[in-house]
């Protein structure tokens, strides 16, 4: 390690996994705050994937960790609809930021973005949020496993590692339907040429209309993993893709004896807990009183309801996206009282220590005063 790698006391690979480092790269939106961002460009990545690049007119630069996501809330047919999209851009270039969106059949927001969002248009957004970032699992030897549009957070991490000249050993394995579905194919090839310790491997289910494709065909298997990446058990694994892909990948690694303490995965596809059924006559249930400090509203809720659902029933407008404790959109200060919160990574311990809670996965254990 030379002195040149040592800036502000941290080596590049240490800065890559340091949340304070990323927090210094521009302004951070207040938790749960919604901002208007302006679309600057729309680029076709593949036949059904586009990258939308934005800036925030309110800030010169945006601070986030590579792998974090934005929640965007376009107004569609008169109603605001929120969805989480990973920032595919790198926070080392914080003056603009991008999301890369695949058109999905029946996908209300993805189709709307593809069909309607153009340069110059504004969009409501909140975040950035999320814990699927290098900070979650500091390691020098990395294995990135992605499928489909799950490539976006791993692309953000790779772009950041390249910009930092971080001393990291990255194997990036991406699975796609056909060669023409590989997102960022040319850029990954270019990054690989510029990063001596980076290697990419593309798996395609079929050749599609590219008969010259000589890469591996089929799905990732233990045999190919052992053959292509014999040291995979020495690496930290970051996985993102459809739920079926991640389930299969995790099972494959577990079956091979991989230490799952070094396994990290992103997903907005966790099964949301259903809201409780209405009480039957005579059925007892604890209830609590909730006061919304800003609006002055007061209502009674059941102990088995989420605070988000009960506040909405009472007419409060509460921003939310995933409703699963992942995205952080519903993060709100609990001013008095206690809740039981079962989140899925959408809030950090230091935020919990400051009194913040995710209302979508919090149930009351006492009367509450909430900062809404
Ligand atoms: Fe996503 Fe609550 S709405 S964490």
Which atom of ligand 1 is the closest one to the Cα of 320? 3
Q: Which range, of 1-5, 154-158, 332-336, 343-347, averages the lowest pLDDT?
A: 1-5
What is the pLDDT at residue 327?
Answer: 79
The pairing of beta strand 236-240 with beta strand 263-266:
parallel
Query: Ligand 1 centroid to 124 CA: how many Å?
Result: 16
- Looking at per-residue confidence, does 35 or 370 come out higher? 370
pLDDT at residue 282, as a whole number: 62
Ligand 1 atom nearest to CA at 359: 2
Domain boundaries 23-129, corresponding CATH code: 2.40.30.10
Q: Are 142 and 358 in contact (CB under 8 A)?
A: no
- Indicate the helix (H) or strand (E) that contains 161: helix 151-164
> Distance (Å, rounded) from C-alpha 41 to C-alpha 29?
22
CA of 59 to the centre of ligand 1 (A): 24
Residues of the chain with CATH 2.40.30.10: 23-129
Compute the distance from residue 307 Cα to the ligand 1 centre, in Å: 12
- Give the CATH number of domain 134-267: 3.40.50.80
Which range among 34-38, 119-123, 272-276, 357-361 shows the weakest confidence by mean pLDDT?
Answer: 272-276
Q: pLDDT tens for residues 19-62? A: 888 888 888 876 656 789 999 999 999 999 999 999 998 888 99
Residue with more model confidence, 368 or 348: 368
| Phi/psi at 122 (5° precision) | -105, 155
The alpha carbon of 323 and the centre of ligand 1 are apart by a number of angstroms equal to 4
The topology (CATH level 3) of 287-370 is Ubiquitin-like (UB roll) (3.10.20)
pLDDT at 352 over 90: yes
Q: Are 331 and 346 in contact (CB under 8 A)?
A: yes
pLDDT in tens, 220-248: 999 999 999 999 999 999 999 998 999 99
| pLDDT on residue 127 | 79
Say which residues have a Cβ less than 8 Å from residue 251's Cβ, sequence separation at least 6: none
Highest averaged pLDDT of the listed ranges 3-7, 13-17, 65-69, 264-268 = 65-69
Q: Compute, in angstroms, the gap from residue 343 CA to the centroid of ligand 1.
A: 9
Note the pLDDT of residue 354. Answer: 94
Q: What is the pLDDT of residues 184-217, one digit of tens each?
A: 999 999 999 999 999 999 999 999 999 888 888 9
Inform me whether the pLDDT recorded for 1 exceeds 50.
no
192-219 as b/e: b if 16+ CB within 10 A = beebeebebbbbbeeeeeeeebeebeee
pLDDT value for 267: 65
Pocket probe for ligand 1: among 132, 310, 321, the residue whose CB has the most ligand atoms within 8 Å is 321
pLDDT at position 234: 97
Residue range 278-313, pLDDT digits in tens: 556 666 678 999 999 988 899 999 999 999 999 988
Residues at CB less than 6 angstroms from ligand 1: 320-323, 325-330, 346, 358, 360
Place of tokens 């930092």: 164
* The pLDDT of residue 336: 97
Task: Using most ligand atoms within 8 A of CB, pick from 330, 347, 351 the residue to mutate for ligand 1.
Answer: 330
pLDDT averaged over every residue in the chain: 89
Instruction: Report CA 156 to chain centroid distance, whole Å.
Output: 11
- CATH 3.40.50.80 range(s) for the chain read 134-267
Half-sphere exposure of 134 (CA within 13 A, CB side): 33
């Amino acid at each position: 390690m030379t002195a040149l790698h040592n800036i502000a006391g941290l080596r590049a690979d240490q800065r890559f996994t340091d949340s304070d480092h990323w927090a210094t790269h521009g302004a951070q939106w207040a938790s749960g705050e919604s901002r208007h961002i302006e679309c600057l460009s729309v680029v076709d990545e593949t036949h059904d994937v586009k990258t939308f690049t934005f800036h925030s007119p309110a800030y010169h630069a945006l601070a986030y960790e590579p792998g974090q996501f934005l929640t965007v809330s376009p107004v569609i047919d008169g109603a605001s609809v929120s969805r989480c999209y990973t920032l595919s851009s790198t926070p080392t270039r914080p003056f603009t930021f991008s999301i890369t969106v695949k058109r999905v059949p029946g996908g209300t927001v993805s189709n709307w973005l593809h069909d309607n969002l153009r340069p110059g248009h504004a969009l409501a957004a909140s975040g950035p949020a999320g814990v699927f970032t290098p900070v979650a699992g500091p390691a020098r030897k990395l294995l990135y496993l992605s499928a489909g549009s799950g490539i976006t957070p791993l692309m953000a991490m790779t772009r950041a590692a390249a910009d930092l000249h971080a001393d990291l050993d990255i194997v990036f394995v991406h699975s796609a339907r056909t060669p023409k579905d590989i997102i960022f194919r040319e850029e990954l090839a270019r990054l690989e040429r510029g990063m001596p310790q980076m290697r990419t491997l593309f798996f395609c289910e079929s050749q599609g209309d590219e008969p010259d494709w000589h890469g591996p065909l089929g799905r990732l298997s233990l045999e190919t993993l052992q053959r292509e990446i014999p040291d995979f058990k020495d690496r930290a694994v970051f996985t993102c893709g459809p739920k079926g892909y991640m389930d299969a990948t995790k099972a494959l690694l577990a079956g091979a004896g991989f230490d799952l303490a070094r396994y990290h995965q992103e997903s907005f596809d966790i099964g949301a807990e259903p809201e409780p059924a209405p009480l039957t006559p005579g059925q007892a249930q604890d209830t609590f009183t909730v006061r919304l400090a800003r609006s002055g509203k007061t209502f009674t809720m059941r102990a088995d309801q989420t605070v988000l659902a009960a506040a909405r029933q009472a007419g409060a407008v509460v921003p939310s996206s995933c409703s699963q404790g992942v995205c952080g959109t519903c993060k709100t200060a609990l001013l008095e009282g206690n809740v039981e919160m079962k989140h899925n990574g959408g809030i950090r311990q230091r935020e919990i220590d400051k009194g913040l809670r995710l209302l979508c996965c919090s149930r009351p254990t006492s009367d509450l005063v909430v900062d809404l």
